[in-house]
């Protein structure tokens, strides 16, 4: 990763922004405030994967703001710059497309994305798998299927420095595979 932002100010600003934008939203369990998810994603990126780049952690916190709130690229670019906004855009599904095309374009885009985006997506995937543990079998199976697709696409040409991130998600998928049915 190129130059690292050393101040945590952009990250703290992103946490406040995401909490406001996701206000009133809930996770699939219907109880957990949605804003907990992006905070957990950034925590996973930092604690489990060893990410220290504040811009990557900021993108992790903001990863669902374009897709699930009224925020757009311009909002994020004005506050955090075009690089962070671009990474968040790469983590955003285009809801204007039909489901099959939307999913195909999303996964193709992730596969071609820079490692910073992939690390955010792996952290998102791991948090979704952890959350899926409390879902009925169909919900667990769906989370495992999506995680397998991410792992399949990210496994080729993955930087050795970040192999541990892939390993953590692979271990969770293996642990859930028998229970996901």
Answer left, alpha or beta for residue 30, where phi above 0 means left and psi between -120 and 50 means alpha: left
**Cα separation, 121 vs 94, whole angstroms:** 16
Helices (H) and strands (E) counted in the chain, each on its own, are 9, 0
Question: What are the catalytic residues?
Answer: 67-68
* Three-class SS state of 33: strand
**Cα separation, 83 vs 4, whole angstroms:** 12
* Three-class SS state of 26: strand
The DSSP secondary structure of 107-168, one letter per residue, reads HHHHHHS-HHHHHHHHHHHHHHHHHHTTS-HHHHHHHHHHHHHHHHHHSTT--GGGHHHHHH
């Amino acid at each position: 990763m190129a130059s690292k932002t050393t101040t945590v100010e952009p990250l703290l600003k992103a946490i406040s922004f995401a909490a406001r934008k996701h206000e009133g939203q809930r996770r699939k369990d219907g109880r957990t405030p949605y804003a907990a998810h992006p905070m957990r994603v950034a925590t996973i990126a930092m604690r489990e994967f060893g990410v220290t780049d504040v811009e990557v952690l900021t993108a992790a916190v903001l990863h669902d703001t374009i897709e699930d709130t009224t925020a757009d690229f311009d909002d994020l670019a004005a506050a955090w710059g075009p690089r962070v906004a671009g990474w968040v855009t790469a983590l955003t599904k285009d809801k204007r497309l039909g489901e099959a095309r939307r999913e195909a374009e999303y996964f193709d885009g992730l596969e071609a994305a820079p490692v910073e985006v992939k690390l955010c997506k792996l952290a998102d995937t791991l948090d979704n798998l952890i959350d899926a543990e409390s879902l009925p079998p169909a919900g667990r199976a769906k989370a495992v299927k999506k995680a397998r697709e991410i792992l399949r696409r990210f496994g080729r040409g993955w930087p050795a420095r970040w192999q541990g991130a892939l390993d953590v998600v692979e271990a969770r998928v293996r642990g859930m595979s028998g229970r996901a049915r």
